[in-house]
Amino acid sequence: MSAFTPAGSGGAPITATVTGVTSPVLANISVPTAGVEVTYTLPDDTRRYLIQVRGGTSGLQLAYISGASGTTYLTIPPGVFLSEDEITVSPLTLYFQTTVNSQIVEILSWS
């Protein structure tokens, strides 16, 4: 919460509540084998996240259901990230696989 007093007016303070995300969490997930599903559960009360493959040499197949990252998935092309916000599901697990061996998937989340 923040309080402001209008300059030169001598009036009563104006109170404003600032909302948003805090507490960023950065995870680097090793994906040793292309085409093999890896899971990551976002921290409790995550409200926003960003996911990408480090280096931009591999695509990412992302799903929200176990086993679906090879069949029903969202393709994130090499060099591109996906960002989701206004998340109200907690916990939320991400299921993903890369298209190239020995990759690092970077996930930044905020609660």
CATH of the domain at 84: 2.60.120.10
pTM of the model: 0.81
In a domain, 16, yes or no: no
| 3 belongs to a structural domain | no
Is 2 among the domain residues? no
Does 104 fall in a domain?
yes
Tell me how far apart the terminal alpha carbons of the chain are, to the nearest angstrom.
Answer: 18
In a domain, 5, yes or no: no
Residue-level pLDDT at 92 = 97
Helix (H), strand (E), coil (C) string for 44-101? CCCCEEEEEEHHHCCCEEEECCCCHHHCCCEEECCCCCEEEECCCCCCCEEEEEECCC
**How many domains in the chain?**
1
Query: What span, in angstroms and rounded, lies between the C-alpha atoms of 45 and 110?
Result: 8
pLDDT tens, N- to C-terminus, the chain (111 residues) = 444 455 555 666 666 555 677 889 999 999 999 999 999 999 999 999 999 999 989 999 999 999 999 999 999 999 999 999 999 999 999 999 999 999 999 999 999
Q: Is residue 71 part of a domain?
A: yes
In a domain, 14, yes or no: no
- Residue 41, domain extent: 21-110
Residue 7 lies in a domain: no
